[in-house]
Structure 1
Amino acid sequence: MKSSPFLVVFFMLVTSVLVAQNSAKEVLFTIDEKPYFTDEFVRVYNKNIDLVKDESQKDLNQYLELFVAYKLKIAKANKLGLQNGQQYINELKSYRGQLSKNYTSDSKVTKALIEEGYNRMQKEVKAAHILIKCDENASPEDTLKAFNQALDIRKRIVSGENFEEVAQQVSQDPSAKENKGNLGYFSAFRMVYPFETAAYTTKVGEVSKPVRTRFGYHLVKVLDVRENRGEVTVAHIMVLKPQTITPEITAKITSTIKDIYAKLKQGESFEALANQFSEDKNSAPKGGVLPRFASGQLSSEIFENVAFGLKNAGDYSEPFESQFGWHIVKLLEKHPVKKLEEMERELDTKIRKDDRSRIITNTLNAKLRTKYKVVRNEKLYTKIKASVTDKYYTGEWKLPEDTKEFDAELLKVENKSITGSTFLQELNSKQKSKLAIKPISKLIDNVYTSFVDGQLNTYYNDNLETEFPEFANIVEEYRDGLLLFDLMEKEIWNKAKQDSIGLKKHFEANKANYQWKNRVEVVTVSSAKEDFVKKAMKLLKSDVKLDDIKAKLNTKDAVNVMIKEEILEEGDATKKIAFKVGLSEIYKDKDFYYVNKVIKVIPAGPKTLEETKGRVINDYQQYLEDNWVSELKKEFKVNTNTAVFEKLKATMKK
């Protein structure tokens, strides 16, 4: 009865905004002297006309009535102060933030990144790397040192030294000692973006130039490229490899996995065997089913290759060994790479969480620097720079005790003023990042540039309603929808549930609307095996109690029959029930056999209030709402400009 604001508002929020017919903006009606204009009415009508099923609501006169009623409710919500509720404020802010993402990124750049990511996803790259660590905020000297170190290592490899051996010797990736830098196969979005780019742009067998990521400098060697295998869903049975391995233990484990395999070959259920014998505690209770995965997501390349090597759903592998134990893998489903149009939203989300997002941010920042005028107070900026000492590098710098002299305007973005104190606070918060840029004046310039970009973005975001009328319209509609939702809850929904006297009175006045059809009280016995249903049928004929039937046919180890007691109404097409007392024939539906016993037939008749309370509450709510609009028209003064409406109708009908 109340699931979301969208179900409340008679004109629903939709993603596309249809262009309103051309009409001059005039006052269509007023509510307590507040004007509502023709352009909004036309826009809302055009946007929602195809969603309206009731033909009467397509009539412009009728639609105006609905529109006025809607605005009356919003006026009431504002009069009650619902717009000041914290939950409402938070929800509107959250929605606006989500919606603004479509306006605060460069669509062309985003589209190009989506296409690039999708094209890369068609292939899987097998690569190895050597890492020389270098902090993101390292000083220029340390950065150059790490770069030159990586460059020297590359020269050694290009001159003929073995990449794997060099990786074991010098790579600062701890795993290199074991895997010799080999990262296996991966596809787009599996690695940080600069690393991914190097892997996808370096030829097979070659080593990239030093590539900078947030971890340091990498040398990437591409070992192979193949078609993307997509993802798979598999189940497995696993016997764990113990910490201590002896020939006897190995023989015992291999014997166990072979015995399980033999049971599979004899036709026993994979799921049941996984549940009983698999030592993977996470997947065993689920029949051995693992979450779907792609190449490079598991820690075992052998396991991945076996899984992807299975051809048809239901196929299972012979026992094989990985570094974790012995497995038998069953293929459940293959998931090929989707089409671009199916993945656009998913890829857009990945890009926003990825290093690629920096490209989008930088592009927008460059546009905003051109779009808006920024003026800086050079005298105050110089004073701020003089107040920051080299203690900043050790995190010991403190804000000036008296910041009043910095409260003046430091910069102005269009008509928005930002004080020097605000920038000082930014500098103070950035101190935790331990920036290593030297000298200190250069560090402050760097922080200032980011600060200005942040202020430009804030200004742009705060003025989206001015920049984009369609954005303002959508936010306003959502705002009204939230208010109406809260208002309906307060004035209608809660009242209908709490007003027990009014509810009962409404039920008594409308009893004819709440009637049962013919019903039957029935017992249904089901089983996967026909023999057990036949046995149950005999027991039902003999009027054996249901608990006794269960006790006779079910055992401690096996539930052979299920028994269900229910009352069914005439017209329930999902049940094969005869509306007469007695026992049915045995019938099969899908994989189960059934028999029904009708205990009694209950003739049609009126429902009690408790039996239909949900529907009565819903009807009572509608009754209250219908009468409520009449009361609102008395509470608020509504004046419709008839001449303007007639002129508008003539324009809209053309």
Structure 2
Amino acid sequence: MMKQIRQIIITSFLFGTLVSNAQEKADQTLLNIGNEKIPSSEFVRIYLKNHQAGTTIDRKSVDEYLNLFINFRLKVLDAKESKLDTSSSFKNELAGYRQQLARPYLTDKETEEKLISEAFERIKYEVSASHILISVPEQIVSSDTLTYYDKAIAIRTRIINGESFEVVARATSDDPSVANNNGYLGYFTAFQMVYPFESAVYNLKIGEISMPIRTRFGYHIIKTLDKRAAKGQVKVTHIMIGVPKDATEEQKSKLKEKIDEIYKQVLNNENFGQLANKYSEDPGSSKNNGELPWFGSGSIIPEFEKVAFGFDHDGQVSEPFQSSFGWHIAKRLGRKEIGSFDEMLPDIKKKVFSDMRNTISVEKMITKTKVENNFKEDTVNLKQVDLVVDSSIYQGTWKPSGLNENKILFVIANQKHDQVEFVKFLTSYQRNSPKGSLHTIVRKGYSDWVNQTIYNYQQSVLEQKFPEFKYLMQEYNDGILLFNISDLKVWSKASNDSLGLENFFQKNKDNYKWGERVHYATYSCADEKILAKVSKVAASRKDKGMKPDDVVNKFNKGQTKVNINYLVVNPDDKEILGYESWKGGISPIVSKDGEFIFNEIINVTTGDIKSLIDCKGQTISDYQQLLEEEWLKSLHQKYPVEINQGAINQMVESLGQ
């Protein structure tokens, strides 16, 4: 339900000059609902958001939407009067939405746009590179990183002085894959490597050796080998027969025979997807006709990538080929090139938002927020915190004591943040098992605390800085309240009030009738000859005043067993198709589920009253509509509505310009 509400709430607020003029000219009280005064600007904003572009704005359309708007505001007001906005569940839900909605506002837009443009330019190309990794522990004293940096410099010097990159890589790299690839990473494009590594490769010239590049894995020495136009993406389906690494030669031979046998079936035009489902040992695709997601360079093992991008057309099938996983047969399903900037923008934005690039944009936002809000700090006062921190912080058991004064550490937007506040932060920070000297831990903790505090400050003032965010939050606030009060007064009430629903059905059951319905009996017996006799008796039973049960009872003597089952179906039911042509309303005898059966048409009716079970869904919907109408009627009586007709006239005139 909340998903539907979110779909109703449109989040675009760029109305242009027309909206601004309309609001400036008509921003007066439009409605009085109970004790609430609603300005014209609020109605204009929501009306234009939901107004279909290209359609006429006139008094009629405004009046129609105004009625909907009034009912909406009445329901929200009733929710507030019922104190639904004070419940912890409401506050938690709204806070959750706010956290999600706030994230795009907590970055530096200029930086974000540059990163998006940069990513698009990089996506146009694929690069190949080799690297040597010097691992650095994630939590390390900053002074100790120099040791690792010096090691990286020494390794680079060996290469610069003429030693083979591959030889040095095998001898020094901490990357486990170096034993197999000599440090070669193949081709890749944007978002496939950590951002600092990616940037280094794209910025280097072909054949150039980088200075040490720091990532979260450590220091890298990188050599860019090639740069080419992007191949785009390909989609394939495949059949894989795995070959264990410790397989004997005999086992390998049998597995090769198996893939060859499957390939013969492919050449005989047997369904490739069904063959994949039957034979493929790739657990990720074997149950999906062997289909793999779209992929580009660097996203899959090189042997497979070479075949996949080597196809000339869709539907082309490869011969069996081998990879490090085993044998494959691949078939191309599609190929697509790099899209335009506008086509790729949503995907690039999403990746930038979830990539390390977003951290860069957030850090830039924090820097700007400091400047805009007169950030000032006194790090001298950190020395007193140094004195109260002891080695128990390494075990996460440090308890602050001995802080005799409480001095200011930094100020932003006239908000002062002091030593006590920072010490409280440190008591939680120690749970991360900090490393390094006590001085380093305090300085690193201080930096994180400042950044977190400024981030939280910026988040707290979004409504003041961004009117569109303020409006969006108001709509989510009202949307949640609307859902909760509607569920309380209408939806759940109609579903759970069994007595009220039954009474409503009894009063309105003439509204729930069947259309044309066919009533018939199915006779069944294991002996076809006996059932043939039953059929003859059934055909003449009406002349003898017999009922279908009488017919069955006549034959159910001794060990004979004839069964009868009564059913009511629509005329197009497959069990009675063509019943109009059955002689005497009796169908031919047929074999079904190990016995013989025939059907007899009893009668055809129209307008039978449905039972509540048969129409419960529709009855609940109608009952909800009644409850809605009664609720709105009571709301109009409880909260008088006054409409400023003069304000409406001015608003319509402005909007119609």
Distance 2:625 2:340 in 1: 45
CA positional deviation for 1:280: 3.4
Q: Give the match for residue 359 of structure 1.
A: 360
Distance 2:136 2:426 in 1: 24
Q: Give the match for residue 401 of structure 1.
A: 401
Conservation of the 8 A alpha-carbon contact between 1:235 and 1:287: yes
Counterpart of 2:312 in structure 1: which amino acid? K
Conservation of the 8 A alpha-carbon contact between 2:76 and 2:481: yes
Relative to structure 1, the CA distance from residue 246 to residue 399 in structure 2 (aligned partners, 3 Å threshold; closer, same or farther) is closer
Pick the structure with greater CA Rg: 2
Relative to structure 1, the CA distance from residue 599 to residue 323 in structure 2 (aligned partners, 3 Å threshold; closer, same or farther) is farther
Distance 2:32 2:444 in 1: 53
TM-score (norm 2): 0.80
Relative to structure 1, the CA distance from residue 255 to residue 499 in structure 2 (aligned partners, 3 Å threshold; closer, same or farther) is closer
Tell me whether 27-36 or 360-369 shows the greater mean CA deviation. 27-36
Partner SS, residue 218 of structure 1: strand
Partner SS, residue 52 of structure 2: helix
Counterpart of 2:501 in structure 1: which amino acid? L
Distance 2:444 2:647 in 1: 58
Aligned positions of 1:119-138 closer than 5 A: 119-138=121-140
Q: Give the match for residue 375 of structure 2.
A: 374
Conservation of the 8 A alpha-carbon contact between 2:169 and 2:182: yes
Aligned positions of 1:147-546 closer than 5 A: 147-298=149-300, 300-376=301-377, 381-389=382-390, 391=391, 394-395=394-395, 398-401=398-401, 405-406=405-406, 410-431=409-430, 441=439, 444-507=442-505, 510=508, 513-518=511-516
Conservation of the 8 A alpha-carbon contact between 2:240 and 2:326: yes
Distance 2:280 2:447 in 1: 58
Counterpart of 1:143 in structure 2: which amino acid? T
Partner SS, residue 634 of structure 1: helix
CA positional deviation for 1:273: 3.0
Aligned positions of 1:542-553 closer than 5 A: none
Relative to structure 1, the CA distance from residue 446 to residue 505 in structure 2 (aligned partners, 3 Å threshold; closer, same or farther) is closer
CA positional deviation for 1:377: 6.6
Q: Give the match for residue 627 of structure 1.
A: 630
Tell me whether 316-325 or 498-507 shows the greater mean CA deviation. 498-507
1:15 aligns with 2:18: no
Counterpart of 1:477 in structure 2: which amino acid? E
Relative to structure 1, the CA distance from residue 314 to residue 145 in structure 2 (aligned partners, 3 Å threshold; closer, same or farther) is same
Relative to structure 1, the CA distance from residue 599 to residue 483 in structure 2 (aligned partners, 3 Å threshold; closer, same or farther) is farther
Post-superposition CA distance 1:429-481 (Å, at most 9, x none):
4445566666x556544533432232222111111111112211111011101
Distance 2:240 2:193 in 1: 29
Tell me whether 254-263 or 605-614 shows the greater mean CA deviation. 605-614
Post-superposition CA distance 1:98-129 (Å, at most 9, x none):
22122111222112111211221222222111
CA positional deviation for 1:59: 4.0
Distance 1:599 1:48 in 2: 57
Counterpart of 2:236 in structure 1: which amino acid? V
Counterpart of 2:280 in structure 1: which amino acid? S
Relative to structure 1, the CA distance from residue 501 to residue 185 in structure 2 (aligned partners, 3 Å threshold; closer, same or farther) is same
Partner SS, residue 226 of structure 1: strand
Post-superposition CA distance 1:182-205 (Å, at most 9, x none):
112221111111111111122233
Partner SS, residue 104 of structure 2: coil
Conservation of the 8 A alpha-carbon contact between 2:59 and 2:652: no
Distance 1:580 1:369 in 2: 85
CA positional deviation for 1:28: 3.0
Conservation of the 8 A alpha-carbon contact between 1:5 and 1:485: no
Distance 1:404 1:88 in 2: 42
Relative to structure 1, the CA distance from residue 365 to residue 606 in structure 2 (aligned partners, 3 Å threshold; closer, same or farther) is same
Task: Point out which structure has higher relative CO (alpha carbons under 8 A, 6+ apart).
Answer: 2
CA positional deviation for 1:641: 4.6
Distance 2:318 2:238 in 1: 9
Distance 1:5 1:159 in 2: 63
Tell me whether 636-645 or 255-264 shows the greater mean CA deviation. 636-645
Distance 2:168 2:362 in 1: 38
Q: Give the match for residue 47 of structure 1.
A: 49
Relative to structure 1, the CA distance from residue 513 to residue 367 in structure 2 (aligned partners, 3 Å threshold; closer, same or farther) is same
Distance 2:45 2:396 in 1: 58
Counterpart of 1:41 in structure 2: which amino acid? F
Distance 1:321 1:459 in 2: 57
CA positional deviation for 1:171: 0.9
Counterpart of 1:490 in structure 2: which amino acid? L
Post-superposition CA distance 1:40-97 (Å, at most 9, x none):
1222222223289999995444443333322221111011121123332222112212
Q: Give the match for residue 555 of structure 2.
A: none
CA positional deviation for 1:167: 0.5
CA positional deviation for 1:613: 2.5
Distance 2:501 2:304 in 1: 63
Distance 1:16 1:358 in 2: 27
Relative to structure 1, the CA distance from residue 337 to residue 645 in structure 2 (aligned partners, 3 Å threshold; closer, same or farther) is closer
Distance 2:380 2:251 in 1: 80
Distance 1:59 1:231 in 2: 48
Q: Give the match for residue 617 of structure 1.
A: 620
Post-superposition CA distance 1:2-43 (Å, at most 9, x none):
x3374599x743334433512354333334433222221222
CA positional deviation for 1:602: 5.1
Distance 1:8 1:272 in 2: 41
Distance 2:518 2:404 in 1: 83
Tell me whether 259-268 or 101-110 shows the greater mean CA deviation. 259-268
Tell me whether 619-628 or 426-435 shows the greater mean CA deviation. 426-435
Relative to structure 1, the CA distance from residue 174 to residue 518 in structure 2 (aligned partners, 3 Å threshold; closer, same or farther) is same
Distance 2:382 2:395 in 1: 21
CA positional deviation for 1:649: 5.0
Distance 1:328 1:150 in 2: 43
Distance 1:204 1:184 in 2: 14
| Percent identity (aligned) | 34
Distance 2:470 2:197 in 1: 40
CA positional deviation for 1:143: 2.1
Post-superposition CA distance 1:589-618 (Å, at most 9, x none):
xxxxxxxx9997955425514333222322
Relative to structure 1, the CA distance from residue 159 to residue 403 in structure 2 (aligned partners, 3 Å threshold; closer, same or farther) is closer
CA positional deviation for 1:287: 3.3
Alpha-carbon RMSD across the aligned residues, in angstroms, is 3.7
Distance 1:53 1:498 in 2: 42
Distance 1:644 1:319 in 2: 77
Tell me whether 34-43 or 241-250 shows the greater mean CA deviation. 241-250
Listed as ranges, the gaps of 5+ residues in structure 1 are 523-541, 544-564, 584-596
Conservation of the 8 A alpha-carbon contact between 2:388 and 2:402: no
Tell me whether 408-417 or 138-147 shows the greater mean CA deviation. 408-417
Q: Give the match for residue 528 of structure 1.
A: none
Conservation of the 8 A alpha-carbon contact between 2:388 and 2:401: no
Relative to structure 1, the CA distance from residue 53 to residue 582 in structure 2 (aligned partners, 3 Å threshold; closer, same or farther) is farther
Conservation of the 8 A alpha-carbon contact between 1:271 and 1:287: yes
Partner SS, residue 309 of structure 2: helix
Relative to structure 1, the CA distance from residue 310 to residue 63 in structure 2 (aligned partners, 3 Å threshold; closer, same or farther) is closer
1:115 aligns with 2:117: yes
Post-superposition CA distance 1:317-375 (Å, at most 9, x none):
11122222222222223343333323322222222222212220121011101111335
